[in-house]
Structure 1
Amino acid sequence: MRRLLLLALCATAVPAGGASPAGTLRVMSFNVRVPVAQDGRHAWPHRRDLLVDTIASQSPDVVGTQELTRAQGDYLLARLPGYSWFGIDRRGGHDDEHMAIFYRRDRLRLVELGNFWLSETPNVPGSISWGHPFPRMVTWGLFETIADGRRFYVYNTHFPYRAGDEPARTRAAAAIAARIAALPAAVPVVLTGDFNTEPGSPTYALLSGSLADARAQAGSVAGPEGTFHAFTGTPRRRIDWILARGLRAARFHTDDRHRDGLYPSDHFPVTADFVPESPAP
């Protein structure tokens, strides 16, 4: 059973911040961290406006989020009114974490959307396989650029987190790779996510076999290599990636902004500017 939901189409204002250059697709991946009181000074009410500012400063065309609750999504939408977001949570409703995708309505038109679960029963909401404790899923959208009608897919995900979950992450990566391989070859695909594993892992090797790592490909790279920092500002591992097929990353940025020791999340967001892939000579 496929469950589709498009949420919160409202307002028409253009987001704050500098837009991506003409002909460029700007994609962000951002694990926003669920709201938990144990985060103390980094709890959601203290960092939420900094998170809004972080997104607005980059003005991405698309944002793949992880760990997003519906309340967080609605808060962001109210303060970034040029965006819409869609997705259901990992249990098939709206009370748990979403892999929601935000997009700019002045730049993009949403053509189709959907979800599938990273399990032996991918069409069953909330399904779990391969020995990890929580449902894992993909939310995806097919977009069309308003300027020139070019289409592309965005897949967004969050992989299992435990050190011993690498076999499950590899199975999840294989499931995504198979889905992407079945898409029309002429339509570009971008994959965003918190993969909870680093380059050099079997999971990375599997995905990078058919998708290019934007950070490794980009001619211009800014910011720290690591992305997970646990609210310390010192990144430990590069587990947040943007991968693509049919597009070329020209610029990549890991945003480590903070304000008076406060960070928008325990992950740094990553942003890539994509241009059309150069034709083969």
Structure 2
Amino acid sequence: MTIAFLALALAALSAEPTKNDSVRVMSYNIRYATASDGKNVWDNRKDFLAETIKEFNPDLLGTQETLARQRDDLTARLDGYEVLAAGRDDGREKGEMMALFYRKDRFEKLAGGHFWLSETPDVVGSKGWDTSLPRMATWVKLRDKTNPAASPIAFFNTHFDHRGPKARLESARLLRKKIGELGEGCRVVVTGDFNSGEGSGPYKALFEAAEPARTVLDTFRVIHPTKAENEGTITGFRAGATSGPRIDWIGSSTDWEVKEAAIVHAARDGSTPSDHHAVTAVLRPANPKPTN
């Protein structure tokens, strides 16, 4: 009886998530390297930006406005990550990327790809609605090696258009649709620069829409339920900039428990590492509710 009881106990323990099952998520618009930013050009801030990322130590990192050489610069400075990225212009190296970084010692890639935010999402470089530029999303499906029996993670990263209001709304609707399709049976994580404030049409389409049925939560608002005045994520490279809208979001499906969420106000010598603050979240697999 004692041996049988011990075997049952060990089996129960092996079915539970490990104690280190938290997933640290970061989203960061890193500002494209070819911008005329004076003292804030990429080569002057890339080390500081990489240090800011390493300080949080994400398991999953989504970056926006990432050119190929910025992807390579970060890969060289961030040890232990695999990266999935494609240029929005040609699906390869040309144009800004929605790069996904994930820890290769923790996650196994099961699938991944890209789609464009347009009426023809499978057409590389396509533009839709009133968008000013090609816009896209990159996604990856991952198995967590620390808890291989758990549902996979579907991780999406995107950047909505900065000019087209219809494009932003339709992009949010398309993203929801793709979450339902590509994220079926998965725990979902979404990162991005949405160029939209809280309560906007795109925000409601992503976080409040009844269809598709899969609920996506605004992780920051879960932890900070009362809206405050210092939640802006656009910096203009100015230290202490906190006004303006919160346009950078991390979303999660309801099979995650949101443990932490924050806006990273990194600064040095009066400047920030990018013209956006990074945003972060710490997620844990939610305990399944008992059934009667």
Normalised to the residue count of structure 1, the TM-score between the two structures is 0.87
Q: Partner residue of 1:214?
A: 219
Task: Please give the secondary structure, in 2, of the residue aligned with 1:143.
Answer: strand
Give the Cα separation in 1 of the matches to 2:183 and 2:30: 31
Give the Cα separation in 2 of the matches to 1:125 and 1:261: 40
Cα deviation for residue 105 of structure 1 reads 1.1
Cα deviation for residue 280 of structure 1 reads 3.0
Cα deviation for residue 179 of structure 1 reads 1.4
Give the Cα separation in 2 of the matches to 1:220 and 1:198: 16
Matching residue within 58, 61, 68 for 2:59: 61
Give the Cα separation in 1 of the matches to 2:166 and 2:139: 23
Identical counterparts, % of pairs: 39
User: Structure 1, residues 74-114: CA drift from partner, whole Å, max 9, x if none?
Assistant: 11111112112111111122121000101111221211110
Give the Cα separation in 2 of the matches to 1:142 and 1:102: 12
Give the Cα separation in 2 of the matches to 1:113 and 1:76: 20
Matching residue within 237, 256, 259 for 2:245: 237
Cα deviation for residue 220 of structure 1 reads 10
Which residue identity is paired with 2:144? T
Inter-CA distance 148–208: structure 2 relative to 1 (3 Å threshold): same
Q: Partner residue of 1:280?
A: 289
Which residue identity is paired with 1:228? I
Task: Please give the secondary structure, in 2, of the residue aligned with 1:203.
Answer: helix
RMSD of Structure 2 on Structure 1 (CA): 2.0
User: Structure 1, residues 128-161: CA drift from partner, whole Å, max 9, x if none?
Assistant: 0102120111100001111111311001000011
Inter-CA distance 57–184: structure 2 relative to 1 (3 Å threshold): closer
Give the Cα separation in 2 of the matches to 1:89 and 1:100: 9
Q: Partner residue of 1:128?
A: 127
- The gaps in structure 2 that reach 5 residues or longer are 1-18, 209-214
Q: Partner residue of 1:3?
A: none
Give the Cα separation in 2 of the matches to 1:108 and 1:219: 29
Q: Which has the higher contact order (CA 8 A, sep 6+)?
A: 1
Q: Partner residue of 1:160?
A: 161
Cα deviation for residue 277 of structure 1 reads 2.1
- The gaps in structure 1 that reach 5 residues or longer are 1-20
Q: Partner residue of 1:89?
A: 87
The number of residue pairs the alignment matches comes to: 259
Give the Cα separation in 2 of the matches to 1:160 and 1:80: 28
Answer yes or no: is the 8 Å Cα contact 1:219–1:250 preserved in 2. no
What stretches of structure 1 move > 3 A for 4+ residues in a row?
183-186
Matching of residues 264-275 of structure 1 within 5 Å: 264-275=273-284
